[in-house]
Amino acid sequence: MPEIRQDPLTGAWISLSGDRQIRPLTVSAGNATPCPFCPGPGTEVGTEPFEVAVFDNRFPAFDAPGHSEIVVYAADHWADLATLPLSHAQAIWDAWCDRTQCLNRRADVAQVFVFENRGKKVGASIAHPHGQIYAYPFLPPRMVSETIRGSNSHCALCLGDGPDLGARTLLSTPDWQLIAPWAARMPFQLTLYPLKHHCDMIPIPESSAKEAMAIIQTVYQAYDAYFGHRTALVLALYQAPAHHFGREQYHLRFDFLPIERGRDKIKYLAGSELAMGAFVGDMLPETVAHRLRPLVEAAFARYLI
């Protein structure tokens, strides 16, 4: 069982567990270990047909207080969020939304975090495409910073996320804006946010959710085209804390955080990032937008037919 400890120096909470070291690894194609996320007798998803499956993580980072869940995107072991039919991708959105709503109601949950570790370079221990949901029993450090800052100033995303937004915009749709953020932490980081101020997924209408999933698929496809392979990235959904005072001031967004900084080059977190939490970048967001925009536009054009 995980143990929650508070860093006496910073006040930040850390989840520690010895059990997670024994969780199964099936990342390589020739691995003899059966996939626990493929349908079949005795696997995590069982033999019942499913479109999207959600279940408790057997090796949780958080478990009462808090909670950890797995979202298996499809029964097909070789499916990928990038290429699933859009109607199927919408079912993933619905699962994220349902779980957010349900977990937000729990008194022992402070923050619901929906994310995907795509590829073994960012820690995916099972190859079968899936995402995760952490329901933290505390507010993670980034959310502490964002909510404090958000409560003391106007909404940064409603204001357009800093100067030169036009040069950093890759795609604008009726409801969503895809940008390279002004102060990107990772070299090829992109941010997707709704133009209307929503603090979480719950009130977002179906047509707008469909548009968002099409853009998420577009970004995956654009990265894969740019880097020439299935890009290792973290997809992170930032939503308002579960019970925080003034949670409506939070503006929902998705961050795409690839760990690559060029073809076959990895952005390693090193001294400044690991030791001080201060990111030192190698790419200007304007340059990233310029490079990826044609690929994003080409990929998104397929959804407009």
Question: Which of 12, 38, 144, 202 is the binder for Zn ion (CB under 5 A)?
Answer: 38
Residue 2 or 150 having the CB closest to Zn ion: 150
Compute the residue count for the chain: 305
From candidates 2, 15, 37, 220, binder to Zn ion by CB under 5 A: 37
- Burial class for 152, CB neighbours closer than 10 Å (0-12, 13-18, 19+): exposed
What's the closest the beta carbon of residue 159 comes to Zn ion, in angstroms? 8
Give 2 or 39: the residue with its C-beta nearer to Zn ion.
Answer: 39
Kindly state whether residue 35 participates in binding Zn ion, applying the rule CB under 5 A.
Answer: yes
CA dist 189 and 184 (Å) reads 6
Query: Can you tell me which of 196, 197, 243, 290 binds Zn ion, judged by CB under 5 A?
Result: 197
> With binding defined as CB under 5 A, does residue 128 bind Zn ion?
yes
Minimum CB distance to Zn ion, residue 24 (Å)? 11
Does 195 sit near Zn ion (CB under 5 A)? Answer: no
CB of 91 to Zn ion, least distance (A): 18
Between 75 and 167, CB nearer to Zn ion: 75
For the chain, the C-alpha Rg in angstroms (whole number) is 19
Q: Are 30 and 16 in contact (CB under 8 A)?
A: no
Q: How far is CA 243 from CA 105, 106, 162, 177, in A?
A: 8, 9, 28, 27
Residue pointed to by tokens 């370079």: 121
Window 68 to 87, contacts with Zn ion (CB under 5 A)? 77
What DSSP line would sit under 229-274, residue for residue?
S---EEEEEE---SS-TTGGG---EEEEEESEEETTEE----IIII
Residue 196 sits in the site that holds Zn ion (CB under 5 A): no
Task: Single out the segment in contact with Zn ion by CB under 5 A; choices: 36-44, 98-106, 131-139, 263-271.
Answer: 36-44
The region of 3-11, 16-24, 32-40, 181-189 touching Zn ion under the rule CB under 5 A is: 32-40
Q: Which is nearer to Zn ion, 75 or 269 (CB)?
A: 75
**Does residue 176 bind Zn ion (CB under 5 A)?**
no
Q: How far is CA 20 from CA 23, 25, 35, 64, in A?
A: 5, 11, 17, 16
Site size with Zn ion, rule: CB under 5 A: 10
Task: Say whether residue 253 binds Zn ion (CB under 5 A).
Answer: no
Residues 6+ positions from 98 with CB-CB distance below 8 Å = none
Hunting for tokens 């959904």 — which residue is that? Answer: 237
Using CB under 5 A, which of the segments 58-66, 154-162, 199-207, 255-263 binds Zn ion?
Answer: 154-162
Which of 168/251 has CB closer to Zn ion?
A: 251
In 3-state terms the chain splits into helix, strand, coil percentages (rounded to 5) of 30, 20, 50
Compare residues 253 and 293 and give the one whose CB is closer to Zn ion: 253
Which of 158, 266, 298, 301 is in the footprint of Zn ion by CB under 5 A? 158
The window from 37-45, 116-124, 169-177, 268-276 that contacts Zn ion (CB under 5 A) reads: 37-45
Question: What are the φ/ψ torsions at residue 209 (nearest 5 degrees)?
Answer: -65, -40
Q: Give the pair of three-digit tokens for residue 23.
A: 């969780």
List, in sequence order, every beta strand (DSSP E) within the chain: 3-6, 13-16, 53-56, 67-72, 111-118, 130-136, 169-172, 176-179, 190-194, 233-238, 253-258, 260-262, 265-266
Q: What is the distance, to the nearest Å, from the Cα of residue 268 to the centroid of all Cα atoms in its chain?
A: 19
Q: Of 31-39, 44-52, 62-70, 255-263, which part binds Zn ion (CB under 5 A)? A: 31-39
State the residues that interact with Zn ion by CB under 5 A.
35, 37-38, 77, 128, 155, 157-158, 197, 251
